[in-house]
Amino acid sequence: MSSPVPKQRTPLFAGNVAIEFKATPTNRNSTLSETSTPSGIREYLKQWQIHNGADVPMKDIKSPPNLRTNVSNDTGNIQTRGTIQAEEDDESHGDIDGYRTFLKDDLVDVGRRRTFLLPGDLVELAFVGSRAQELAVFVQDLGDQGQYYTMSGRWSQRPHFMPKYFVPGFVKPEELKDIIPHLPSSEVSPDVQQKLQIFQQAVPRDIGNNILSKLLHFWNEADAAYLATATQMETIHRVMAHRTKMTYATLEEIAEKSLAGVTAKDANGNFNQTILYALHRRILATDMEFRAQAKGTLRAGGEYEIASLDEVEDVKKVEALVRSYVEQLMTGTTDVKSGSQHPVTQFVQQCRTMIDITRKNQDFTKYGMIGPYPGDGHPGSEATSQSFPGGTRLFLRFMESWCGLQSFRRGSSLHGIGATLLRAIDRYDDVELDMRTGWTFLQEIGIIPFWETPHAYLLKLPGVGQRLRAEKLAPTEGFIEDQQSSIRKDWGNVPVFCIDDVGAHEIDDGVSVEPTEIDDQYWVHVHVADPASHIEPTSPIAEFAQRFVTNVYFPDRVASMLEPKRVQSQFSMGSGRPCLTFSAKLNAAGEILDYKVSAGRINNVIYVTYNVLEEAGTNTEVLSSDEKDMYIAGNNSLPPSNPSRHLTSFDALATDHKAKLKIIRNLGVLRSSCLRGKGGVNFASNNYDLAIHLDTPTTPAPSALRYKFGKVWKEKPIIEVSKNKGTPKPNSPLSYLMILAGEVCAKWCHERGVPTMYRVTPYNPIKEPASFFRRVVIPSRDVDGNIPLDIAEQYLETIGAAQPSTVPGPHVAVGADMFSKCTSPLRRYGDLLMHWQINAALREEHRLGRPLVGNTDESIFPFSTVQIERLLPRIDTRERLARKASVDAQNSWFCQFFIRAWKFGESELPRSLSFVIRTVNPLSNIAFGKISQFDFPATLRFNESLKYEDVVPGQEVEVEVLDIDMPRGRMILTPKPRGPVVEKAFEYKLAR
């Protein structure tokens, strides 16, 4: 575990030698005392951050790759699209000029869990606005699109993420070689992507016949499987669904519950692929009963979302009522026997009254929100005299399902039911009758406040809206006594620095450092909160956390997987609190010499911000508010922040504490250099900041209303938007110490046979990330470590997205040999699971009096490898959904700010807006980039005054707003008629 002790180095505070961030191996003869800040690649890529972890706004256009590597407490969340197939490299070693690179064979083959397609895979193609499906074979990657040869003898191209179902290795790749010359060799326009295409020239009849025969045979076998199980297939939703709750299940789980005993399994106990496909085809043929989740992919073993029985029945009732209402309008008949109005007529009249009352004070906009209530914005929502009779609430629940929960599949006729209701209300003549207008309608009748965004609904968070109001929040009871109390190390008076933002909700971790007997060798201790020792892995608390998976952070609220008050009072890092400590001994090059894990209790916690860490490490003044562009929508400035703990300023720190913080920062810098030397990449961020203040805490509206009456929402949230004027902020060196903790966790668990959830770069046989790094990335680095932008893009595309795995392997984009997330158990279930496993191992080692190194007995751990395998798809999908929702919600709040400033004069905007072009998509006649004044990601739609042929990436053009979609957090811009301001906002090197 330990390497030989190197020769002694210059003492830490003896000299002024700086470790430079160069394109050469780490300088092993430098000291830690004056390590300089790495700048090169961050300076060069300072304009890179466009999409902060979110998907590209529009799915029907060519998407620029997402190059963000978020290592600040969430390392490894890299999401990239597209492929660059590197040539085979005959080099057989991983060390080149001192760089230890990862070989292709080092990567983990995740098997059927892979999220990418390989030539020869069978997929199902679905088409927008149609229930038709077509089986196809994946042929090849073409940039951001995949190419497919279909069972009807035609071809199709579409973005990689669209096919949800696959059977790996359906045909051999060599069977496709004869068909490839007859197919397009480049991407196609969006209008072509949703259609099956015939071949331009006649293809010899013998080419592709074998593939077509296999596809048709599979299809026919699936049809036969459906007919043989038709009774069970048609009742599947009633079997799987809960009466009131939305639930989730994998395809195998659905088959096991509904088809077990009806159809045979193979010798390994698995259902036949044709049975599973027949089941998949059946359940996704419904309008809303089963849905594929927006993030993740079913082909990686993901889960289907299953609507509750109540929701499905309510929607069917509304559908029937609306159809009868339309029929009465068309025939001029009424229900004379009932002697009363049609329920739709009742609902429509009630809504008209409510809308007219609202519009007396709040203006309607076409952007997905109404204007704020006039006045000073003090709290005091007033109930109107208009209430919703019981019979009309059914329609409100339908509208929530439509534009809040978004329960209907694309192309479903149920969208037309929602549009029909809006049309009948007769207050929306000049706008599209779509979900955006439906969301505005809910604001106008007082069901939700004008600032509400739909992202909590989309995540199906407990307590949100009418459908989910009965879902329980995190349990408050059931915590147990400390299971590790007898083996905890007392850290005495060792100062533990908890470094986080001012507004951090829970403090997961802290760092301490201690010298060794050898100069410039240090033990770095990452102390992590330990709630797992007070929670049984099978308790209701744990079960809730498992369903929730991760905390979700919105600008106006936080949804927590553990009860927030308990977290703050007992588990968040503080003096006298329990912790798990991940320790690593580092040398002056930042290399790991030894490592260990222990349970402990810390007693001397010092809370500081990232700015204090930087000031201690660099002796430079941190960015002040005067160096930011600030905009505020609302009547007042934001009140002073109220941190959850006492923060120590730089000036208030003791001298020895300043010195320790400097060492901590410098060790983080050294680790960043080590990780970059093994293929790790990282980029600075220059995104906008946004802060919200409400006089009263935001509740998950309309849970308290229960749709009994509408409200006039007089509160007016204050929205503060700011943008740094300086260069982009690099990731804090602290983030690399969090990665270090993840490396220690993975190595320690692997040695002891602990079933573990690793984060790995999956093996992809058609990509060569190690070869690309050696042949292209290393030679392209300049003396400061910079690489050209086009090479950075291609490298991250080649790496692909990291995936969770029970088999250890490299996380290439981080630069770690093996890596497991472990530093955020208060907010991530995966980290909490790892703490349960580690705590069990520590207790067993204490009982035996020896390390568990070499252990093969999984029975001593709460979770086996098989159990963790089953959890991986849900954890991965839910984490991705939560990240996307957080980013989308912030973008929605920015759109609110912009609308309130632009249309209601609540803030002074820049006199003109300019747009920095990042990528141009000629096929869609648009460009991606960001608004210069705010660093806000947006889309530019070209017009006659400026065409795509006239611009290049990096150019800045003057623009005006074309459209804003507040619920989705998107802005569409168009060039001003006067034309572009032709200048380069940043240097962009085009790929050669």
Cβ-contact 243, 312 below 8 angstroms: no
Cβ-contact 544, 561 below 8 angstroms: yes
Q: Kind and range of the H or E element at 386?
A: strand 382-387
What are 897-900's contacts with CB under 8 Å, separation 24+?
897/631, 897/633, 897/690, 897/719, 897/721, 898/961, 898/964, 898/971, 899/365, 899/367, 899/369, 899/964, 899/966, 900/371, 900/372, 900/633, 900/719
* pLDDT for residue 389: 76
The C-alpha atoms of residue 8 and residue 16 are separated, in whole angstroms, by 17
**What number is the average pLDDT over the span 899-906?**
94
209 & 171 share domain? yes
Cα–Cα distances (Å) from 260 to 225, 254, 256, 817, 986, in that order, read 13, 9, 5, 42, 60
* pLDDT for residue 52: 32
Sheet holding 166-167, edge to edge: 155-159, 145-150, 133-142, 122-126, 166-167
258 & 322 share domain? no
The DSSP letter of residue 698 is P
More confident call, 404 vs 505: 404
* pLDDT for residue 10: 33
Phi, psi of 280 (to 5 degrees): -60, -45
Cβ-contact 929, 852 below 8 angstroms: no
> Mind listing the pLDDT tens digit for each residue in 632-658?
998 766 677 778 889 999 999 999 999
* Residue 538 confidence (pLDDT) above 90: yes
* pLDDT for residue 186: 83
Provide the domain count of the chain: 3
* Secondary structure class of 539 (helix, strand, coil): coil
**What number is the average pLDDT over the span 679-705?**
63
* Secondary structure class of 594 (helix, strand, coil): strand
* pLDDT for residue 339: 45
Sign of CA dihedral 40, 45, 51, 56: negative
225 & 342 share domain? no
* Residue 757 confidence (pLDDT) above 70: yes
Which DSSP string do the residues of 737-763 spell out, in sequence order? HHHHHHHHHHHHHHHTT----EEE-B-
Residues 6+ apart with CB under 8 A from 664: 497, 511, 513, 524, 613, 617, 733, 734, 737
Asked which of 301, 326, 343 is the last residue of a domain, the reply is: 301
Tokens of 660: 């320790």
> Which of these ranges, 128-142, 190-204, 367-381, 967-981, has the smallest mean pLDDT?
190-204
Sign of CA dihedral 123, 126, 127, 128: negative
408 & 438 share domain? yes
> Mind listing the pLDDT tens digit for each residue in 320-343?
999 999 999 888 776 544 446 899
Phi, psi of 720 (to 5 degrees): -110, 125
* pLDDT for residue 189: 72
The C-alpha atoms of residue 961 and residue 982 are separated, in whole angstroms, by 19
* pLDDT for residue 48: 32
Q: Please provide the average confidence, as pLDDT, over all residues in the chain.
A: 82
Does residue 957 lie within any of the structural domains? yes
> Which of these ranges, 106-120, 434-448, 685-699, has the smallest mean pLDDT?
685-699
More confident call, 700 vs 60: 700
348 & 292 share domain? no
* pLDDT for residue 195: 66
Residue with tokens 């407490």: 73
* Residue 348 confidence (pLDDT) above 60: yes
Cα–Cα distances (Å) from 779 to 139, 546, 656, 774, 792, in that order, read 33, 45, 42, 8, 13
> In the structure, what pLDDT confidence band is assigned to residue 287 with cuts at 50, 70 and 90?
very high
Which DSSP string do the residues of 713-733 spell out, in sequence order? -----EEEEEEESSSPBPPPT
Tokens of 922: 């000629």
Tokens of 136: 């196809």
* Residue 21 confidence (pLDDT) above 50: no
Phi, psi of 971 (to 5 degrees): -125, 135
**What number is the average pLDDT over the span 374-391?**
64
Residues 6+ apart with CB under 8 A from 840: 860, 861, 862
130 & 219 share domain? yes
Does residue 271 lie within any of the structural domains? yes
111 & 260 share domain? yes
Structural domain harbouring 146: 98-301
* pLDDT for residue 234: 92
Parallel/antiparallel/unpaired status of strands 489-490 and 592-601: parallel
> Which of these ranges, 432-436, 597-601, 673-677, 900-904, has the smallest mean pLDDT?
673-677
* pLDDT for residue 786: 59
Which DSSP string do the residues of 156-190 spell out, in sequence order? EEEETTS---EETTSS-GGGGTTTGGGS-SS---H
* Residue 229 confidence (pLDDT) above 90: yes
235 & 152 share domain? yes
The C-alpha atoms of residue 317 and residue 414 are separated, in whole angstroms, by 12
Bridge partners, 628 (sequence order): 724
The C-alpha atoms of residue 625 and residue 501 are separated, in whole angstroms, by 15
The C-alpha atoms of residue 527 and residue 530 are separated, in whole angstroms, by 9
End-to-end CA distance of the chain: 44
* Residue 684 confidence (pLDDT) above 60: no
Does residue 423 lie within any of the structural domains? yes
Instruction: Please give the single-letter amino acid code of residue 20.
Output: E
341 & 211 share domain? no
* Secondary structure class of 150 (helix, strand, coil): strand
More confident call, 918 vs 80: 918
188 & 111 share domain? yes
Residue 294 gets the label, from left (phi > 0), alpha (psi -120 to 50) or beta, of alpha
* pLDDT for residue 878: 92
Does residue 653 lie within any of the structural domains? no
**For the purposes of burial, counting CB atoms within 10 Å of the CB of 273, is it exposed (0-12), middle (13-18) or buried (19 or more)?**
middle
Does residue 616 lie within any of the structural domains? no
Asked which of 420, 437, 466 is the last residue of a domain, the reply is: 466
Cβ-contact 913, 974 below 8 angstroms: no
**What number is the average pLDDT over the span 409-431?**
94
Parallel/antiparallel/unpaired status of strands 145-150 and 133-142: antiparallel
Asked which of 466, 488, 523 is the last residue of a domain, the reply is: 466
Closest CA relative to residue 475, chosen from 577, 560, 554:
560
> Which of these ranges, 83-87, 143-147, 189-193, 746-750, has the smallest mean pLDDT?
83-87
The DSSP letter of residue 774 is I
What secondary structure, in 3-state letters, does 331-362 show? HCCCCCCCCCCCHHHHHHHHHHHHHHHHHCCC
Does residue 187 lie within any of the structural domains? yes
* Residue 623 confidence (pLDDT) above 70: no
> In the structure, what pLDDT confidence band is assigned to residue 113 with cuts at 50, 70 and 90?
confident
> Mind listing the pLDDT tens digit for each residue in 777-806?
888 876 655 566 667 777 878 888 888 999
Please give the share of the chain, as a percent, with pLDDT higher than 90: 53
Parallel/antiparallel/unpaired status of strands 604-608 and 495-499: parallel
Cβ-contact 453, 369 below 8 angstroms: no
> In the structure, what pLDDT confidence band is assigned to residue 22 with cuts at 50, 70 and 90?
very low
Residue with tokens 């020792």: 533
Parallel/antiparallel/unpaired status of strands 926-931 and 913-921: antiparallel
Residues 6+ apart with CB under 8 A from 90: none
Does residue 321 lie within any of the structural domains? yes
Closest CA relative to residue 765, chosen from 165, 90, 117:
117
* Residue 703 confidence (pLDDT) above 50: no
Cα Dmax for the chain: 99
**What number is the average pLDDT over the span 812-822?**
93
**For the purposes of burial, counting CB atoms within 10 Å of the CB of 17, is it exposed (0-12), middle (13-18) or buried (19 or more)?**
middle
More confident call, 30 vs 146: 146
* Residue 203 confidence (pLDDT) above 80: no
Q: Directed axis angle between helix 273-283 and helix 251-259, to 10°? A: 100
Please give the share of the chain, as a percent, with pLDDT higher than 70: 79
Bridge partners, 522 (sequence order): 515, 586
* pLDDT for residue 390: 75
* pLDDT for residue 335: 55
CATH of the domain at 960: 2.40.50.140
170 & 280 share domain? yes
Cβ-contact 262, 254 below 8 angstroms: no
Q: Rounded to two decimals, what is the model's pTM?
A: 0.85
Does residue 601 lie within any of the structural domains? no
* Secondary structure class of 128 (helix, strand, coil): coil
The C-alpha atoms of residue 90 and residue 55 are separated, in whole angstroms, by 36
* Residue 710 confidence (pLDDT) above 80: no
Residue with tokens 């329960």: 407
Residue with tokens 């749709």: 707
What are 256-259's contacts with CB under 8 Å, separation 24+?
258/232, 258/233, 259/229, 259/232
Cβ-contact 105, 87 below 8 angstroms: no
148 & 238 share domain? yes
Residues 6+ apart with CB under 8 A from 304: 248, 249, 250, 251, 254, 283, 290, 291, 292, 293, 298
